[in-house]
Amino acid sequence: MVSISVRSRTFLSRFAIAASALALIALPCAVQAQASVAPEGGQQYSSSSDWKAYLTNYDFDGAPGTSASPQYGQYGRRNNSPYPYQNRWSHLAFEFGGGFTAPVGNAARNWETWGYNVNVGAGWNFSKYFGAMIEYQFNRMKIPGATLTALAVDNGIPQLGGNINTWSLTLDPIVYMPLSHSFGTYVTGGGGFYRKVTNFTESVLSTQCDPYYGFCYSGYVPTTVAHSSSNQLGANLGFGLYWKAFGDSSNAKLYTEARYVWVNSPLASPKNPYGSGTEGFIPVTVGLRF
């Protein structure tokens, strides 16, 4: 009885081992056969690589023949469009800058001396080579000391100060000429409305009282004693250099430029005794445009 029981157990053990081995061998074959079964549409995909190939021919909306990559930010691909990876609003352009201003022509003949300028603008870049800006520029220049002294003596004033402010609103096309991916030159120019205001000031003794502490103090305060203004048309023409300091693919540019500005300012007359005639000056500006 013992011998028969041992033999039966040995037989069952061998049978179980053989069955397990057959199952392990048959399992990969079953999986491969299941992967090759065609779906209802009738098309057959034999491996996961076929599914990847299938997906690359469809975008996220299911449209055939396009890439599954997003429309923007396609890293690794070279885009030859003027403004890669950007939408229509990326064509908007803005600028701001400032610098010094030098008078030329009639303005430099005892009427104006060096000053400063501030420039801001907005516009549209039609391509990486051409754009147009609407610019506001303010130029403030001083009146030479010899001229102020002569006017003070003529009018019996001990001391006279003065300045000339010219601001403009102009339309200025701009043409870019790249020299490399990061550096380039450009030409700009245009015209529009200019307003010139000449101010003469005198130091007047004035008493000021502090409203919080109640004490008063006296001092000389520059006070405008005469001024002249005129509105006219003008034009400008300039040349500049730019540098894409924030990367070749960025629209932001550091720029420096010099322009010649001509303003059709009136001559002196009884109504406008401080007119210097046509005004010319060269603003040199450093700024950021993007």
Kindly state the DSSP code that residue 271 receives in the 8-state scheme. S
CA 42 – CA 47 distance, rounded (Å): 16
CB 117 within 8 A of CB 101: yes
The pLDDT tens digits for 25-72 are: 554 554 454 444 444 544 444 444 444 444 444 443 444 444 444 443
Three-state DSSP class for residue 202: strand
CB 236 within 8 A of CB 272: no
- The Cα angle at residue 32 between residues 28 and 35, in degrees rounded to 5: 140
Domain total of the chain? 1
- Kindly state whether residue 134 falls inside one of the protein's structural domains: yes
CA 84 – CA 279 distance, rounded (Å): 43
The pLDDT tens digits for 116-136 are: 999 999 999 999 899 999 999
- Kindly state whether residue 63 falls inside one of the protein's structural domains: no
Q: Which residues does residue 218 pair with via DSSP β-bridges, in sequence order?
A: 207
**pLDDT attached to residue 61:** 43
CB 217 within 8 A of CB 267: no
The pLDDT tens digits for 133-179 are: 999 999 999 999 888 888 888 877 788 889 999 999 999 999 999 99
CA 255 – CA 96 distance, rounded (Å): 10
- Kindly state whether residue 97 falls inside one of the protein's structural domains: yes
* Distance set, CA 171 to CA 23, 184, 235, 237, 253 (Å): 84, 22, 10, 12, 20
Q: What is the CATH number of the domain that holds 119?
A: 2.40.160.20
Concatenating the DSSP letter of every residue in 151-194 gives HHHHTT-S--EEEEEEEEEEEEEEEEEESSSSEEEEEEEEEEEE
Domain enclosing residue 180, as ranges: 89-289
Checking if the pLDDT of 75 tops 50, the result is no
- Kindly state whether residue 135 falls inside one of the protein's structural domains: yes
- Kindly state whether residue 42 falls inside one of the protein's structural domains: no
